[in-house]
C-alpha cells in the first residue's frame, strides 16, 4: 500500500469488525508506522490485504470511526473473503 503523495511510502489501515456494527478504523499510518501496523497484525495472526486504493480511501477516516456507507461494498467483499477462507492475501515480508 502506498501513499499517493509519496509512491515509495507504505500506507496501512487496520479495521475492527465484530458482526454487530460497521467496521471501525482502529489504526492507520504511513511509512514506519504502517510497517509496525503490519508487523503487529502478522504477529497477532490478523489477515492482511494489500490494496492501495482501499488503504488510501480508509486512511481518510478518523480513528475509532465507522467506515462510511460509500465503502461498505468494498469492505464487505474483503470481509466476506476473509470469513470464507480464514485469510486475506498476505504481502511478502
CATH number, position 48: 3.40.1690.10
Q: Report the candidate in 52, 33, 57 with the shortest Cα–Cα distance to residue 91.
A: 52
- Residues 23-37: tens digit of each pLDDT: 999 999 999 999 999
Segment holding 84, helix H or strand E: helix 72-85
Establish if 61 belongs to a structural domain.
yes
Number of structural domains (the chain) is: 1
Please state the rounded mean pLDDT for residues 54-73.
94
pLDDT in tens, 66-91: 999 999 998 988 888 777 776 555 44
93 vs 72: CA distance, rounded Å: 29
Task: Tell me the residue range of the domain where 49 lies.
Answer: 2-85
Inter-residue contact 42 to 48 (CB < 8 Å): yes
Amino acid at each position: 500500500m502506498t501513499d499517493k503523495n509519496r509512491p515509495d511510502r507504505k500506507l496501512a489501515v487496520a479495521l475492527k469488525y465484530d458482526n454487530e456494527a460497521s467496521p471501525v478504523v482502529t489504526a492507520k499510518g504511513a511509512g514506519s508506522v504502517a510497517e509496525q501496523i503490519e508487523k503487529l497484525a502478522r504477529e497477532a495472526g490478523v489477515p492482511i490485504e494489500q490494496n492501495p486504493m482501499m488503504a488510501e480511501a480508509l486512511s481518510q477516516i478518523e480513528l475509532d470511526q465507522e467506515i462510511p456507507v460509500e465503502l461498505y461494498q468494498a469492505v464487505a467483499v474483503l470481509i466476506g473473503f476473509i470469513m470464507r477462507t480464514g485469510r486475506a492475501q498476505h504481502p511478502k515480508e
